[in-house]
Amino acid sequence: MAALNHIFSSVLSTFNYSPKLTSFPRSIISCKSTHNFFSLPLQLAHLNPTKSRSFSAPVMAYGFVEEGLPPALGSSSDPPDIFDGTTRLYISYTCPYAQRVWITRNCKGLQDKIKLVPIDLQDRPAWYKEKVYPANKVPSLEHNNEVRGESLDLIKYIDSHFEGPSLFPDDTAKKEFADVLLSYTDSFNKAVISSFKDEGINEETGAALDYIETALSKFTDGPFFLGQFSLVDVAHAPFIERFKPFLLEVKKYDITSGRPKLAAWIEEMNQIEGYKHTQRDPKELVESYKKRFLAKM
């Protein structure tokens, strides 16, 4: 028994895992229902939290593969050899919707399976609309001689159609809650953005952030929305990454103040290599949002 305990302790040590912790080992994670906005917090209040439990084993995930980022393609760039059998993810380095899919690709360890093709949205090449994606938006995914779009659809598609650790739960209660939270993302973003041109932070923005705090309290087997890291975290991260520094600088409002679950979630997300590799300089994000939302004020 002593020998078994020693082996078990050695394995846990290898993964930086402690049974007392409820967060993922940082060295390992590298990786439409309609709901009325104001009724969501009330709905959430009736969902009973699961009992606290520790991980029964170290969380396994594919290691993050460091890669050099290719330059963005503009109007003078030649198109790739479209539909040649290569799977391509068309993104913009600055687009939060595209970032969702980029994170999913990274966290599943698909850097060698899905080629990144960045597009310069300020100097968009004509061939992208003509030959790749008529909607002329990012993200889009070229796979099996088809091109698909819409970020929430794409993160689910990549998770279910490619190898790598699953980013969607098997647990029924978590699946149901994941659907609610994914459906809520647009409402959340609109609610926060509604304060950008107001004098301060309006009630709708505060309620949306409080809802996120409450949602992060439902499952207690980890610091993420479903306890364990999932597509729900992927869907929210790019926008919270932008909202936090923008509101802090422009409104002097810290979205984590009085919201310890949200603060802990941001800290844990910032340890995930597959996400970190997609992040932009906060100053760049703030300036971009100033130009977009405050230029006409």
* Predicted pLDDT of residue 67: 86
pLDDT digits (tens, 9 = 90+) for 116-174: 999 999 999 999 999 999 999 999 999 999 999 999 999 999 999 999 999 999 999 99
The pLDDT tens digits of the residues spanning 83-116 come to 999 999 999 999 999 999 999 999 999 999 999 9
Hey, how many other C-beta atoms are within 10 angstroms of the C-beta on 34?
6
pLDDT tens string 28-82:
334 533 333 333 443 443 344 333 333 222 233 445 667 899 999 999 999 999 9
The model's pTM: 0.80
Compute how many other C-beta atoms are within 10 angstroms of the C-beta atom of residue 28.
21
**Neighbouring C-alpha atoms within 13 Å toward the C-beta of 67:** 19
Which residue from 160, 247, 153, 261 is spatially nearest to 215, judged by alpha carbons? 261
Q: Where are the alpha helices (DSSP H) in 149-281?
A: 151-161, 172-193, 203-215, 231-250, 260-269, 273-276
| Pairing mode, strands 140-143 and 146-149 | antiparallel
**In angstroms, what CA-CA distances link 267 with 23, 155, 230, 237, 271?**
11, 22, 16, 11, 7
pLDDT value at residue 63? 53
DSSP tag of 165: -
Q: Where are the alpha helices (DSSP H) in 21-60?
A: 40-45
pLDDT band at 295 (very low <50, low <70, confident <90, very high): confident
Give the integer Cα–Cα distance in Å for 256 and 233.
16
Q: Average pLDDT of the chain?
A: 84
